[in-house]
């Protein structure tokens, strides 16, 4: 079995947890914005931004899980391209999570959402 280092697994699992938490925050903010203010010209851009943010985080979450499993199952070693893709996905997921988190916070602040 190809070995995924413990430190790498910790990074991946922590990042996946952060992605799930941010998806939850985006969907919660979307729900509250819609329930409190409805779908209006003013809220539509923010509702779409929250939906897009959740989708933007869902894809790297799935990719991280798929790649981690594929690397663990690779025999006798994982292809370099697969490891490189995992590293790239970690970097992209981290950057996306920072950007989406900032958007969520801004929307929550602008609309005084919980």
Residue 75: what pLDDT? Answer: 79
- DSSP state, residue 82: H
Q: What's the CATH code, domain 6-111? A: 1.20.1270
Q: Is residue 2 pLDDT above 70, yes or no?
A: no
**How is 8-73 classified by DSSP, letter by letter?**
HHHHHHHHHHHHHHHHHHHHHHHHHHHHHH-S-TTTHHHHHHHHHHHHHHHHHHHHHHHHHHHHHH
pLDDT tens digits for range 51-88: 999 999 999 999 999 999 999 898 788 899 999 999 99
Of 5, 19, 7, nearest to 94 by C-alpha is 19
Q: Is residue 94 pLDDT above 70, yes or no?
A: yes
Q: Where are the domains of the chain?
A: 6-111
pLDDT tens digits for range 13-29: 999 999 999 999 999 99
- Residue 48's pLDDT band, with cuts at 50, 70 and 90, is very high
Out of 1-5, 34-38, 83-87, 106-110, which region has the weakest mean confidence (pLDDT)? 1-5
């Amino acid at each position: 079995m190809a070995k995924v280092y413990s430190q790498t697994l910790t990074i991946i699992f922590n990042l996946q947890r952060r992605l799930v938490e941010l998806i939850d925050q985006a969907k919660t903010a979307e729900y509250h914005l819609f329930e409190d203010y409805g779908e209006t010209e003013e809220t539509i851009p923010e509702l779409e931004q929250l939906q897009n943010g959740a989708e933007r985080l869902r894809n790297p979450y799935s990719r991280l899980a798929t790649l981690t499993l594929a690397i663990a199952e690779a025999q006798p070693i994982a292809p370099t391209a697969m490891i490189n893709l995992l590293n790239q996905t970690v970097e992209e997921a981290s950057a996306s999570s920072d950007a989406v988190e900032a958007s969520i916070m801004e929307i929550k602040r602008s609309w005084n959402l919980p």
